[in-house]
Structure formats: structure tokens, C-alpha cells
Structure 1
Amino acid sequence: MTLKLVVIGGGSSYTPEIIEGVLKRHHQLPFTEIVLVDIEEGKEKVTIIAELAKRMIKEARNNINVCWTLDLEHALQDADFVTTQIRVGGLDARERDERIPLSHGFIGQETNGAGGILKAFRTIPVMIQIAEAVHRICPQAWMINFTNPAGIITEALLQHSPHKKVIGVCNIPYHMKQSAAEILEVDAAQVSLEFIGLNHFVFGRCVQINGIDYTEELTKKLDDNHVTYSPANIIQLDWSQSFIRNMKLIPNPYHQYYYQTRDMLATEWRAYENGETRAKAVKQLEKQLFSIYKDPALTKKPEQLEERGGAFYSEVACRLMDSLYNNRKDIQTVNTLNNGAIKELPDNAVIEINCKITKNGPNPVAIGSLPAAVKGDILQMKAFEELVIAAGISGNYQQAYQAFLANPLIKDEKRTKALLDEMLAANLKELPQFTIGG
């Protein structure tokens, strides 16, 4: 029997994470073939990653066949799982996404605000082409999307591509659960945490340890000790006591952009004035990582990869594939269709929520109504996401303008058009759907 995994964006520095995850679960998830796919610009990197993957597999005394290719359609033949981790425009595009908004006085971040919108605009058409190819060549395959902005991309695929076996994943909910376990000083396997909201705008609620509610204790520890938890790719600021005490919800690290906007902008602005951005730091880290990856003596994922911000990637992606393959019926947090789980949102909206994972896909665990304290914010964010998807599909300038103005990190009628126009012009090469100007 064969089991085939195709990794689109195989030249990503994150790929050793997924190789490690596959090897860790090989008795439950017995892949026989892994194909790494990339584009011409990523040829050198995917070659390096493929050689490292082979060494990792040999070290683990496994016999998975690994190869790489630039031919997507050939790679997809007989695939069972397809993971996507692409960055259209590369890190140069990310640097534009960070620098241009900051030059206009707005947050510059790769998946939030104006930068996140442009990333979605560049990515949606490419991902739809990939999904169409998956549906045509391997319609039985599950498509696991890790490409950011993950919630927006997943909804675009589910609503606008023929392939419906699509699930979005993000390491933030997993990271939050692990952090909660560390704060409460228990094993993460004992912790359950309800998630409410959208990708990168999800809140935690109802923390339980072995079925007993520990929400008050966790929020008190966050309150008293100013405990924070942020992955490497997000600036870390403390939460105020009043926020934790009065909201009674656990924020995720990306909420700093929305509830500490001035402080985050000031921090980013200081770095910008010094010629620094996260994209610039990532470029340097990537150079270091690939130099390490080339080492023929390296047979495992290096510790330096954790600085890249992708911690728990392999755990999230491989655990999901394991549960789909083995019909585990366990609870995992994924991006999928609402289907009545949140009363205020339509069934076809993609949300980030706990689901029972079966061989037929994720079944959301209903939460009922949104908490009153954040209902308006979540509904506003979902309306914004819908505008981004519409503009990303159509290339309509008016819809793009509306999406910019609707974003809580922009919302400035006097400066929206100048920001939008500069970002569209700077990304023209990767925006074939747009005619610039309006």
C-alpha cells in the first residue's frame, strides 16, 4: 500500500518541520512517498531541503522515498495529502508589505492590516489554480493549507474553487494551548481550550484540565504575573491587568495589533527608522538556515528553525493528517466552514474553531453565540475578510478600497487611497487580476 504526501512550497525553510512530524508519526501515518514542489526561483532551496529530508529519513531508518520537482501536475498524481506553504513574491514582497504601510503611518505586518491584504491579493489566484489542479488530478486528496493569511485563503478556496476537501491550519491555537499548560504547570495533553473567532483573531475561553474549569486560575496568573506568550515572528508586549481581568478571554499574540495598536506601531516605527523590519531579519535567518541545511552531516531539524516563528508547525499539520487518515475523532483547532457553530455567522464563513476530526473531515464543536465583549470585533473582521476575498478574486479596485477602509488597522478615509495605490503599484507583477487606479 502507498501513501503519498505532496508539499507545495517544498523549498520553504519550514519543510524540515513537516519531515520531522512525518517521521515522528510514521507508524500511524505510513507515508511511502513525499514530493517537494516549488517554482523555478525556489529550485536551489528545494534541492537543499530534499537532500536534508533524505538524510533525516535515513537517520530515522525509514524508507520513505523523497524527491523534488518543479512540475506540479506530475507531483499531484495519486496524492493522498497536499500541504501548501507558499509565499507569492517571496520575502521581497513581505518586506514591501511591512515597509510601505509604515511609511504611511500604519501597522506593517505580513498577515494583518495592509500587508495582510496584499499578501491575500497576491496569493488567492495562485492558490485557486493549485486547488483546481488538485481537484482535477487527485480529487480524493485532502488539501491542508498553511499559507497565510490562512483563514482568508481557506475561505477563498472553499467558496471559489471546485475542491472542497480543504482545511486551514495555524500554529497559534496550538501555541496558546501549550502556553496555557506551561503557565498552569501541567501536561498539555490534560488541557482543553475552547477557541472562538477567526484565524489570527481567535480568542481562548473555558480552559479545562481533565474536565475541571481552570479559566479563572489561568487569567489570574496572566493578570498577576504579566505572563506573555508570543512566537518568534511577533513582537511581544505585556497585556494590562484590566484587559485580562475584565475581558475574561485569552487573547492570542496577534491581538496586540488590534488592542495595543499605538504601542505596536511605535515599536515597529522605531525599527523602521533604523532600517529594520521582520522581513529583513527573516532574510538573514533564512540565509543562516540554508547554510546549516547544506551541511552533509546534518540529519535532523536544527534548533535555529524555532527562531523562524514556525514552532509546532509539524505537530499541527501531521496530527491533522493522522486524524483524517485514521479517523481519530479527536478534537483539534482548524480553519473550516462554520456550519452553525457560531450563530451570528453564515454557514459558509470560515472560522477557527475546535473540531472533531474524522476521515470525512472536521466537524465544528458549536459554541453558540459570540461573547458580547468581542462580538462586534469578530463580525467586523469577518466582513473585512469577505471584502478581501471578493477583491482578490475580481481585481476590482472599488472592492480593494473598501477592504482597506474596513480594516481596523487602517480605517482612515484621508489616507487609504494613497496607501492602496502605492501597495498595488509595488506589487503589480504579482497582481495579474488588478488594473491599477481608481
Structure 2
Amino acid sequence: MKKFNITIAGGGSTFTPGIILMLLDYLDEFPIDTIKLYDNDGDRQKTIADACEILLKERAPEVSLLASTNPEEAFTNVDFVMAHIRVGKYAMREQDEKIPLKHGVVGQETCGPGGIAYGMRSIPGVLELVDYMEKYSPDAWMLNYSNPAAIVAEATRKLRPNSKILNICDMPIGIEELIAKSLGLSSRKEMEVNYYGLNHFGWWTDIRDKEGNSLMPQVTEHVSKYGYTMGGQDIPGEEASWNSTFKKAKDVQALDAATVPNTYLKYYLYPDYEVAHSDKNHTRANEVMEGREKFVFGECQAIIDKGSAEDTRLETDDHASYIVDLAKAIAFNTKERMLMIVENNGAIVNFDPTAMVEVPCIVGSNGPEKLVVGEIPRFQKSLMEQQVGVEKLVVEAFEEGSYQKLWQAITLSKTVPSAKVAKDILDDLIEANKAFWPELK
């Protein structure tokens, strides 16, 4: 069986060790020759890379690791690029969250003004990766799960229309695992789902077991009572902010009791609640910096100091197994059914054909083939049209360097109460993002 070469773009990410551990779990199904790490911050990447090199020597000595800040070295002779970059790192995420909150608006990394700010930074970063891949490994595929996925997907659709980039997200995977658990199933793979929407903005309309029996009555009843928690209890090991999010799903679901929602819809449908329950001085970015970032880099340093990963507390990123499913589908033409972010083009018949929608696809060697969703209800359609307008305006603002269009995008977001507030937030975001955004006129 062929062994694959993979580049992980964003090699200095806190998620990289978990993804490498996950890849090792699937070596029998998806053999690997070389893993390359690429990051434009060599110092940050070095800690992750040095620890992962020790880990690989102990657990899979046949797999070699190369870490580089040189695009030619990192992108030459690879089959897949797995991209999870964060332009501006957590310091800029903190600004994305705190600047809107200062103005009484939802502060979230992928939703509302924070997501727009992050999108303006991510677009050039992801386009750069696509260009490196096409220059040095033109037959490779990019599996992109860099956020904000909706804006990034629209940018690649418009600005790199022929690129072999597949945009995916792990949030539906995480929710499906919680749904499976609530049903007493061992894995989401025991279910077949129908879902439609935009990234971080969608609804499950049908969930069945492998025999074709509908599980939706049990699922909708459970979510209407408990959200995605088990009996309303906090999920062990989850941070308080995530437990709050999983519980809030029951209020989102109340708007359409026949479906179950993506958790991120709470930011659009209950923005007043979210702002009231946010600490504008200590946001999710601070939680991550004090929690996962400190933990992962501490564990990596401990591996380096000890020269062994034997007792490491680093864990496999189970959610990331969908990345291997996607790579296998492309490499081996498995025809796996997966949720993908793709150009609508008829999947949702009463919706903008150029919108990047998240729908089930059958994935093989030629990429994803969309399944037809059909017509969607007015409520969801109207919400999605507003949000697609935001995403398209952000990409146009980036492309044209347009202040006006970015102001329009923030004004159009359902999380923002007025054009005046939108302008105040935009002016603060421009100041914070001077080192990252194109100049706006």
C-alpha cells in the first residue's frame, strides 16, 4: 500500500500533537511515510516539533518528521496539506472577542464582528498556503479546517476557483458524538445524518440508524429538554463555557422543534443573552491561553526535557479522525458520506447557487459530490441569506480594500444592533489589525 506524505500547515498549533497522535492511530488504514510541519513562527513550532519527533521515534519510528519555515521544503512532494492556521495567534483572538464586547456586541472568534476580523486575517494566510501547494505539489489536496471556515471557503471559491481545497469543520462531528452518546450508541458512525446550512450555522433534519430507522423523535425530545448535555448535567472534562453552550442548544432548538441546531446559532438568535453572560475582561481566548495552550506547550517541553513521551498526558484528537476519513476518501475512493462546505449550485434548490453551504457529500477521488437537500423553510433560508451576505461582503471588502463593504458586512451581521455600532467596532478593529489587514479605503 502506498505511504503518504503529509504537510500540517500550522505546525505550531496546540492541536498539532493531537492530530499527529490521531494519524498514528490510523496508520494501518492510512500509511504515512513523512509528516512535515510548516509554520511561519519557527520558535513556536520548534517546541511542538521537537516533542513530536520524540513521540514518533517511540511509537512509529518508520514515520519521519520534518519541521520547516521554508515553503519549498515544506510543500514539495506531498500528497495532502492539512491546514489549521491561526493568523495573529491567540493574542489577536483576544482582540476579536474583547473589541465587540466593549461595544455591547457578541465577542466570538467565528461569529459576528470577531469572526469578520479573523476572516480578514485568515484569507491571505490560506490563499498563500494554496499557492505554495500548487507551486510545489500541484497534485496534492488541501484539507482545510482553518477558521472562520465559512469566510475562508467563500474566499477560496471566489479567488482560487480551481484549487484542490476541501473545506471542513469538526463542530458537527463533536455534536454528533454527543447525540450518539445520548442515544446510547458507541459512535456517530452508527448514524446517518441529513444536515444543511452554512458553516457554524446549520440544522440536522434527519438522523437514522444503519437499518434506516428514524432516531429523530428521541433526539429532538432530548435536545428540547437538555440541549446536548446528558440529562442537563455538565459534561465531565468540558470547560464551563462549552457546557453553557451545549445547554443553550435547547433554547435554539425551540425555534424549530422538528430539527436540532448547530450550537453556534445561539450567537445569532440570543445575542443579548450571550453578551449579558460574557466577561468582557476575560473571554474564551483567555481560557484557551491559560488552559489548552499552557497545557500543550508544558507537556511538549516536559517530553523534550525528559527525552521521552512515555508518560505524556497529550491525547489523541478524536474529533480529528474525520480528517483521516476525508484523506482516505480521496486516496482510496471510499465514497464516504461526509458533511462538507461546498458551493451550493443546486443542493439547496431555493438558495443562492454561489453560496458556500454545509451539506452531506459523497467523497471519492475526484472530491465531493453534493447530495440534494431540496427546498428549505423560510425561517432558515432568511437567516442563511443574511449570513451569506455578510460572508460575501467580507471577501469583497478584502479583495477591493473597501472600508464601505466591511462596514456593510458588520452592519448586516445579526449580532450587531446598528450601523453606528458597526462603524465604532470596525474602527477599533482596523486599529487592532494594522499588521494583518490590507489597507481599507
Q: For 2:359 and 2:311, locate their aligned partners in 1 and report how far apart those are by CA, in whole Å.
A: 30
Change (3 A) 1:185 1:302: farther
In structure 2, the partner of 1:109 is 108
In structure 1, the partner of 2:30 is 29
What is the Cα deviation at residue 111 of structure 1? 0.7
1:207 aligned to 2:207?
yes
In structure 2, the partner of 1:249 is 259
1:374 aligned to 2:374?
no
Partner amino acid for 1:85? H
What is the Cα deviation at residue 103 of structure 1? 0.6
In structure 2, the partner of 1:410 is 416
Q: For 1:302 and 1:54, locate their aligned partners in 2 and report how far apart those are by CA, in whole Å.
A: 14
In structure 1, the partner of 2:268 is 258
The TM-score, its normalising length taken from structure 2, stands at: 0.90
CA deviation string 1:303-330 (max 9, x = no partner)? 5769xxxx54421212211111111101
In structure 2, the partner of 1:9 is 10
Aligned with 2:341 (options 304, 315, 335): 335
CA deviation string 1:64-98 (max 9, x = no partner)? 11010010122111111011111111111111111
In structure 2, the partner of 1:228 is 229
1:317 aligned to 2:327?
no
What is the Cα deviation at residue 300 of structure 1? 7.4
In structure 2, the partner of 1:100 is 99
Unaligned runs of 5+ in 1: none
Is the Cα–Cα contact under 8 Å of residues 192 and 208 in structure 2 kept in the other structure? yes
Is the Cα–Cα contact under 8 Å of residues 132 and 162 in structure 1 kept in the other structure? no
- Point out the more displaced range, 243-252 or 159-168: 243-252
User: What percentage of aligned pairs have identical amino acids?
Assistant: 28
Which structure 2 residues correspond to residues 280-319 of structure 1 after superposition, within 5 A?
280-285=286-291, 286-296=293-303, 299=309, 312-319=318-325
Q: For 1:264 and 1:246, locate their aligned partners in 2 and report how far apart those are by CA, in whole Å.
A: 20
Q: For 2:311 and 2:138, locate their aligned partners in 1 and report how far apart those are by CA, in whole Å.
A: 32
Is the Cα–Cα contact under 8 Å of residues 388 and 399 in structure 1 kept in the other structure? yes
Unaligned runs of 5+ in 2: none
What is the Cα deviation at residue 332 of structure 1? 0.9
Is the Cα–Cα contact under 8 Å of residues 5 and 77 in structure 2 kept in the other structure? yes
In structure 1, the partner of 2:192 is 192
Q: Secondary structure of 2:440's partner?
A: coil
What is the Cα deviation at residue 419 of structure 1? 1.2
Is the Cα–Cα contact under 8 Å of residues 100 and 114 in structure 2 kept in the other structure? yes
Q: Secondary structure of 1:294's partner?
A: helix
Q: For 2:387 and 2:375, locate their aligned partners in 1 and report how far apart those are by CA, in whole Å.
A: 16
Q: For 2:252 and 2:410, locate their aligned partners in 1 and report how far apart those are by CA, in whole Å.
A: 31
Partner amino acid for 2:298? S
Is the Cα–Cα contact under 8 Å of residues 75 and 137 in structure 2 kept in the other structure? yes
When the two chains are superposed, the root-mean-square deviation of aligned CA atoms in Å is 2.2
In structure 2, the partner of 1:218 is 219
Q: For 2:88 and 2:256, locate their aligned partners in 1 and report how far apart those are by CA, in whole Å.
A: 42
In structure 2, the partner of 1:161 is 160
Q: Secondary structure of 1:193's partner?
A: strand
Q: For 1:68 and 1:370, locate their aligned partners in 2 and report how far apart those are by CA, in whole Å.
A: 46
What is the Cα deviation at residue 62 of structure 1? 4.0
In structure 2, the partner of 1:170 is 169
Is the Cα–Cα contact under 8 Å of residues 347 and 372 in structure 2 kept in the other structure? yes
Change (3 A) 1:353 1:119: same
Is the Cα–Cα contact under 8 Å of residues 5 and 79 in structure 1 kept in the other structure? yes
What is the Cα deviation at residue 334 of structure 1? 1.6
